[in-house]
Amino acid sequence: MIRKVHDYITVCAPAPFQIAGITALNLGEDYFHKVVQQYSQARELILPGLTKAGFGYFIPEGAYYIMLDFSKISWPGEKYQKSAWTKDRSFAEFLAREVGVAVVPGSSFFSNPTDVENLVRINFAKKQTTLLEAVNRLKRLEEY
């Protein structure tokens, strides 16, 4: 069953995707340069706030998300730890509920969750106002 689904997804691109691909190819280089500029500005806007909040990270060069290391951040982990949850899942829950910033547990992207127990991923492909609000909310981490 999985093989059949894979074949239809990778070999038989649906007609709307084909039209979207043609449209993207016809946008021209200026469009893509503008997108790169917008993402670069968004990245530079959020990085100082992440640093100040205590996150470790590598600066992304070709993505609109950042994998964050929260190992040096103080937070009430025991309050959010559920028996079936990984540490990163608990931290993501804490950040969403107490800080108001949504992230994705790093274990969602790796085959062995214990290898990445201190990682979460944040997306910065957002409006400038949204990013500024996230940076402002991250200041709440100082309370812990």
Give the global pTM: 0.82
Could you tell me the strand order of the sheet in which 65-69 lies? 56-57, 65-69, 119-123, 104-105
For 46, half-sphere exposure in the C-beta direction (CA atoms, 13 angstrom radius) is: 29
**Structure-token pair, residue 14:** 């649906």
In terms of residue numbers, what domain contains 57?
2-143
Taking only the tens place, the pLDDT of each residue in 57-68 is 999 988 999 999
Identify the CATH number of the domain in which residue 33 sits: 3.90.1150.10
* Tens-digit pLDDT profile for residues 31-48: 999 999 999 999 999 999
Give the number of domains in the chain. 1
Which two tokens mark 81? Answer: 């730890």
The neighbouring-strand residues paired with 123 are: 65
**Residue 13: both structure tokens together:** 């691109």
